[in-house]
Chains A and B, each alone.
Chain A
Amino acid sequence: MTELYELTASEIARLIASGKATAEECVDSVIERIHAVERKVHAYITLDEEGARQKARQIDQRIKEKKPVGRLAGIVVAIKDNMCVQGTRTTCSSHMLENFIPPYDATVVERIKRADGIVIGKTNMDEFAMGTSTENSHFGPTYNPWDLTRVPGGSSGGSAAAVACGEAILALGSDTGGSVRCPASFCSIVGLKPTYGLVSRYGLIAYANSLEQIGPLAKTVEDCATLLTVIAGHDERDCTTANLGVKDYKSHLKKPILKVRVGVVKELFGEGTHEGVTKTVMRGVDTLEDITYGCEEISLPSLEYSLPAYYLIAMSEASSNLARYDGLRYGYRAPDESLEWDDTYSKTRKRGFGAEVRRRVILGSFALSAGYYDRYYVKALQVRTLVRRDFERAFSRFDVLVGPTMPLPPFKVGEKIKDPLELYMCDVDTVPVNLAGLPAISTPCGFFEGLPIGMQIIGRPFAEELILRVANAFEKSSRLEATSPPLR
């Protein structure tokens, strides 16, 4: 018997619309599931069960009264803990913001609430979104529901794990260098990073603001499209959002893709790629070969330099974005007041930030400093130009580009955390997309020795519709949709 928490958002919406299930029943099912597995998975930092039930009851009441309800009515949504939810603790998984209560909702949260989505809680992440495994959390790691000894990916590991094991139907993550796609790949779900500027960043606590976007995480491509439709679109509160009009990403999902030309990016299968990844993703490419115009290899040489460029830009921006955490207006504050202001600040930041955050902020400050700005930051921005040009060139021949999302299957908790550089290397396939500001989706591609492998589909700017279509067709052909981890 399929539990409600195992269903997709589309299936739940149909049940609620036809009266076969109530919103409250759907919420209760998810809450029960959370009670069953959360202590093993540790996806959440903050839960609001009673609030969720209340919202569900309100929705059911409106349905009873034949009043209209939003397209996410009755759907439980988990929000990564770096997006502000008014009145709810928003921590970024950091000691620094452990007790921070935002006085406003992020735009995406507002839109989800307006669509009657039920925000049940805030999910675990790498501190300030800096990480690839959700091991850098002040509140302890999240575990991969497919194998609890392994990481769920990061930095949106909590959101992905929650969706993968039914602790949420949909979730939001943020992707600066792969943080939505990576955990999607590791948890065998769908995760999409929109084109830079499609989704408002207002209310997203910044890590690297020229690179990051908020993206949906879901069990199926269709669900992903549903959530994207709700959150996407111009926001006057974010000057970097595009003014393109409202789009329904579900409407053309099933259109055929026989004319779509697929480029297989050589550099995404570069040295260091795990053989299980190569094997699995190439099988996926074979599937694509059958349902599209065809697949052909293409080389984007500048991609080899994208990882260092990414980190230099991200750390530099982070060093400035995180400067505001000094304990004065919000957040942790070192209690010793006999000190002068800059000693208090320095102590506050030492104790409030975890080791990885401190490393990046210090290195970022160095990269921007006098004498080094041109050598590091500006150079990285020049590499970025080359990466964009390479993609542009590739898109003159192909409509989408594919490759693995991650160069390796989910690794064991604790395996890579001691060597920061080794962990950075895991981002090699995802960061080029952030540098170029392109849309990309990670969709389940298969398993290697029981471990999830994801395939990444990259599109032209604002071509979310196309990459969703390709991913949807692939999902149907590969029959991997909505497989669930064997977690009790």
Chain B
Amino acid sequence: MSTMEKAQVKIGLEVHCQLTNLKTKLFCGCPSDYRGKEPNTTVCPICLGIPGTLPRPNQKAVEDAIMVAEALSSQISEETVFYRKNYYYPDMSKNFQISQYDGGGGVPIAASGTISVEENGTKITVRIRRLQLEEDPARLVHLGAIDTSPYTLVDYNRAGIALLEIVTEPDLTSPKEARLLLQKLRSILEHLGVSDGSLEGAMRCDANISLAGGARTEIKNISSFKEVERALNFEIMRQRSLLARGLKTGQETRHWDETRRTTITLRTKEEEQDYRYFPEPDLTPIRIPAETIESIRRRMPELPDARKDRFVKQYGLPPSSASVLTSEKALADFFEKCTHLYSNARQICNWVTTDLLRCLHGQSIEIGESKITPANLVEMLKMIDEGVISGKIGKKILHEMVKTGSSPRDIARRHGLVRISEHEVLDKLIESVFREFPNAVRDAQTDEKAVHYLVGQLMKKTEGRADPQLANKLIRERLRSHAQQVD
């Protein structure tokens, strides 16, 4: 996109982050690890909305929210209150959600923050409008597609899980920036230890976009960061084509269809969505004194930006690589664990930020899902240092380690990938190469290119396992003795 085109795009995000590291839900003591559990087993009268029950707020959830607000340089409210957001839906156990509100005198837990995103060395600062705590609704299961299923099945295991809603101002100017922002946010939350973004459904987001000062379109049902970029790219195209035809875009909500890669209008019952917010009478206000914020600030873990700076200083890494490493906490952790076992941090960094990442992306997995361990990577680097394998072989082994978690020595042994540096073995192979390519042998006496060709053929024969320096040396020696013989 050209700079001018970019300037016309305004994107804002509304991200819902589960505070997955809490042990319990937001308003009841049900365990929060609901994934993979039998339906309706991590429930209690409170999260089921059984008549007569009352909510009890999780203190750690509030502390986590304050910590995130601090990390995002937000203004934390001195006093904040929970509100009821009233609406009916089969995933709502009380047909109201206990949430927060920034209208009608209501104040969310924090507001006016910032988050910075780096794209090709340029830093963009995005403003955060507000942060608020709210409860997750239940999970709906359909028979087939949502609009053709004859009934809906409801599982309340997820109902009541603590969510932190983070809303940005429309400061983003491209879909790619949006994706980077989400990655940065995830990295921050993981570094703070409040959320594990790799868990399915742990970070969900709605996007809103407007073009050339036009009406705002909200896009819902985006399931992953990649899909955010896709959905927004699609929407820009769709709106541009409308504008080109002289048509206007109206303010509306659209649903992203991942399979068909398109956005569709949701049947707008917008005029009926009056949430009738009012303060939750069953909960007390939350007062956050300066001392509380201070104590939380003091025990805050290292944030990605600080970690990046430290990587540059401590390990002498180039800033761009340090950026890549700290963009994913698990990746940065992996890197640092390696440095405890191997002193050449730059070496580790190179391998992690290029070949390892490429390998992971190729398999569409995150480092947490792969089987490779820091010990394994380090062992492989040592094998290269020792000359047991070449760098090229190392890449192959890396691939295998990611998949199986086996040690590099085991892999090398199993596949016979150890570097050949025994002279007798090489001599025999050189003999057969010379036999197969007599013209090259003749040309090699005068033409450097032919020498390289012969070395190449030897490498090919050994599937890259020959020590290239030794191969070179031995071939030249043989060529010299050949020349002498001829002479």
Contact = CB atoms under 8 A, between A and B. Distances in A.
Interface of A: 83-84, 90, 92, 97, 100, 102-104, 106, 201-206, 209-210, 236-240, 316-317, 319-320, 323-324, 326, 328-330, 337, 341-342, 345, 365, 368-370, 373-374, 377-378
A205 B51 contact: yes
Given A238-B54, A240-B284, A368-B278, A324 B49 contact: yes
B91 to A, nearest CB: 10
B36 interface: no
B56 interface: yes
A326 B278 contact: no
B84 interface: yes
A320 B52 contact: no
B318 interface: no
Contacts of A239: 54-57, 282-284
27 contacts: A103-B50, A104-B45, A204-B52, A205-B52, A206-B51, A210-B281, A236-B56, A237-B54, A238-B54, A238-B282, A239-B54, A239-B55, A239-B282, A239-B284, A240-B281, A317-B278, A319-B276, A320-B84, A320-B276, A323-B95, A324-B49, A324-B51, A328-B90, A328-B154, A329-B50, A341-B90, A373-B277
A202 B56 CA distance: 11
B274 interface: yes
B459 to A, nearest CB: 68
Interface string B79-114: 000001010111001111000000010000000000
A102 B52 contact: yes
Given A323-B95, A328-B154, A377 B278 contact: yes
Contacts of A102: 45, 50-52
B481 interface: no
The size class of the interface chain B forms with chain A is: 20 to 34
Task: Decide if the interface of chain B is mainly helix, strand, loop or mixed.
Answer: loop
A329 B283 contact: no
Interface string B400-421: 0000000000000000000000
B152 interface: yes
Contact of B51 (A209, A236, A330, A374): A330
Contacts of A209: 281-282
A446 B197 CA distance: 70
Contact of A329 (B93, B277, B278): B93
A364 to B, nearest CB: 9
A405 to B, nearest CB: 25
B276 A365 contact: yes
Contact of A370 (B49, B52, B90, B274): B274
A335 to B, nearest CB: 14
A202 B50 CA distance: 11
User: Interface centre among A238, A240, A329, A365, by most B CB within 10 Å?
Assistant: A329
Contacts, number: 98
Interface in B279-309: 281-284
Given A209-B281, A368-B278, A373-B104, 4 more contacts: A102-B52, A104-B45, A206-B52, A374-B104
A324 B89 CA distance: 10
User: Interface centre among B49, B51, B95, B274, by most A CB within 10 Å?
Assistant: B51
Contacts of B152: 341
Nearest to A203: B52
A272 to B, nearest CB: 30
Contacts of A377: 278
Contact of A316 (B51, B104, B278, B283): B278
A451 to B, nearest CB: 35
Contacts of A374: 104
B282 A317 contact: no
B236 to A, nearest CB: 32
B450 interface: no
B233 interface: no
Contacts of B440: none
Interface in B370-424: none
A320 B49 contact: no
A202 B55 CA distance: 10
Task: Decide if the interface of chain A is mainly helix, strand, loop or mixed.
Answer: loop
A210 B281 CA distance: 6
Given A210-B281, A326-B95, A328-B154, A106 B52 contact: yes
User: Interface centre among B276, B283, B284, by most A CB within 10 Å?
Assistant: B276
Nearest to B269: A342
A246 B52 CA distance: 24
Contacts of B104: 373-374, 378
B53 interface: yes
Contact of A368 (B86, B281, B284): B86
Contacts of B124: none
B324 interface: no
User: Interface centre among B50, B54, B57, B89, by most A CB within 10 Å?
Assistant: B54
Given A324-B93, A341-B152, A100 B86 contact: no
A345 B281 contact: no
Nearest to A204: B52
Nearest to A212: B281
Nearest to A346: B88
A80 to B, nearest CB: 12
A210 B45 CA distance: 21
A369 B276 CA distance: 5
Contacts of B470: none
Nearest to B90: A341
Contacts of B86: 319-320, 323, 368
Nearest to A97: B51
Given A320-B278, A323-B86, A324-B93, A100 B51 contact: yes
A210 B56 CA distance: 16
Contacts of A201: 54
A5 B248 CA distance: 79
Interface string B38-78: 00000001001111111111000000000000000000000
Contacts of B52: 83-84, 102, 104, 106, 202-206
A238 B278 CA distance: 19
Contacts of A106: 52
A317 B276 CA distance: 11
User: Interface centre among A104, A205, A206, A323, by most B CB within 10 Å?
Assistant: A323
A106 B54 CA distance: 11
B275 to A, nearest CB: 9
The 4 closest A-B pairs by CB, nearest first: A323-B95, A368-B276, A210-B281, A205-B51
Interface in B11-58: 45, 48-57
A485 to B, nearest CB: 32
A239 B281 CA distance: 10
Nearest to A364: B276
A412 to B, nearest CB: 33
A22 B274 CA distance: 59
B483 to A, nearest CB: 90
Nearest to B27: A239
Contact of A330 (B50, B84, B151, B154): B50
B88 A323 contact: yes
A204 B89 CA distance: 24
A209 B94 CA distance: 14
Contacts of B281: 209-210, 240, 317
Contacts of A324: 49, 51, 93-95
